[in-house]
């Protein structure tokens, strides 16, 4: 089975711009979660989607949004980028059922905001 894929792998943006990151989960998985990882804060939960619905949400401002498509692929969007948004963004997929247990992570998208 192919693993979780994320595109692009690297991205450089300037302050004020917006960015869209993409995640393709493992075939059959219906839950997709997004995380932001920085050296100071560790892995911070952004949101989780299951069957196109946001099921859980972390404590991030409204500039961070996401969606999931009917084929379980997911995108996250960050508008009005700030320098502090520079981070590794990780996507994880989990489970073909409603109960999501272990998570399978993609390689991440490294976002640099200048």
- CA dist., res. 111 & res. 94, Å (int): 24
The pairing of strands 74-78 and 64-68 is antiparallel
Burial classification of residue 58, based on how many CB atoms lie within 10 Å of its CB (0-12 exposed, 13-18 middle, 19 or more buried)? middle
| Cβ-based neighbours of 52, under 8 Å, separated by 6 or more | 67, 68, 69, 70
Please, which residue, 96 or 107, has the CB nearer to another protein? 107
Could you tell me how many residues of this chain bind another protein (CB under 8 A)?
Answer: 25
Please, which residue, 55 or 67, has the CB nearer to another protein? 55
Contact residue for another protein among 74, 87, 108, 111 (CB under 8 A) = 108
Contact residue for another protein among 10, 62, 101, 114 (CB under 8 A) = 101
Binding mask 54-93 for another protein (x = CB under 8 A): -xxxx-------------------------------x-x-
If one asks whether residue 32 binds another protein (CB under 8 A), the answer comes out as no
What are the Cα distances from residue 54, in Å, to 32, 42, 46?
9, 23, 11
- Angle (CA) 61-99-89 rounded to 5° is 35
If one asks whether residue 106 binds another protein (CB under 8 A), the answer comes out as yes
Which chain residues interact with another protein by CB under 8 A? 4, 33, 35, 41-43, 45, 48, 55-58, 90, 92, 98-108
């Amino acid at each position: 089975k192919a693993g979780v894929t994320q595109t692009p792998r690297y991205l450089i943006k300037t302050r004020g711009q917006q960015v869209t990151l993409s995640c393709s989960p493992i075939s059959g998985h219906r839950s997709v979660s997004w995380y932001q990882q920085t050296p100071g804060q560790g892995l911070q939960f952004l949101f989780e989607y299951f069957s196109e619905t946001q099921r859980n949400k972390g404590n991030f401002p409204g500039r961070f949004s996401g969606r999931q498509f009917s084929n379980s692929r997911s995108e996250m969007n960050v508008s009005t980028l700030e320098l502090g948004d520079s981070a590794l963004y990780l996507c994880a997929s989990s489970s073909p059922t409603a109960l999501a247990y272990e998570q399978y992570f993609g390689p991440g998208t490294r976002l640099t905001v200048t």
